Amino acid sequence: MLENIINSESKFSNYNLYLSEIQNFDFFYTKKFKKELLSFPYFISILKNPKRNILIIFWIFLSIFFKFFRKNTSAIEFKAKEIIMNINLKWRLFLFNDDNTLILFKKILEDYVKFSKQNNFKAIFIFFPQKDDV
């Protein structure tokens, strides 16, 4: 595990100064979020992941179009979110089956318990599943 870059109150208050350094070491940022981030030029950015991006844009615009003409959008309003939720579900399944991720998760929990003992509080970890996990 890496030492936390934000290790003081002043760094916490100015975390934006450390974002690029944090992002370099953030597995989730580099492997998932950065790949889904849309940036200029947007057309090229959209085409980097067309299956995801074009479908999401399609459902959002269709929903806006229906709303503009005061049509019922209940059948399509959730479609864009559903695409994202399905992608995120696949990610969660991957992460829970990945040995390195599980080792890291266990290490984070162990460090949390150790920290709680050093600081005289009871460590409580609550795991809340997302809607499509149950």
pTM of the predicted structure, to 2 decimals: 0.74
C-alpha to C-alpha distance for 53 and 18, rounded to whole angstroms: 29
Residues 92, 102: contact at Cβ < 8 Å? no
The pLDDT tens digits of the residues spanning 14-71 come to: 999 999 999 998 888 988 898 899 999 999 999 999 999 999 999 999 999 999 999 8
Q: What is the mean pLDDT of the chain?
A: 92
Angle at the Cα of 38 from the Cα atoms of 85 and 68, rounded to 5 degrees: 70
Q: Does residue 72 surpass a pLDDT of 80?
A: yes
- The residues, ordered by sequence, that sit 6+ positions from 130 with a Cβ below 8 Å of its Cβ are 85, 88, 89, 92
Q: Does residue 98 surpass a pLDDT of 90?
A: yes
pLDDT at 9: 94
Q: Where are the domains of the chain?
A: 38-97
Q: Does residue 77 surpass a pLDDT of 90?
A: no
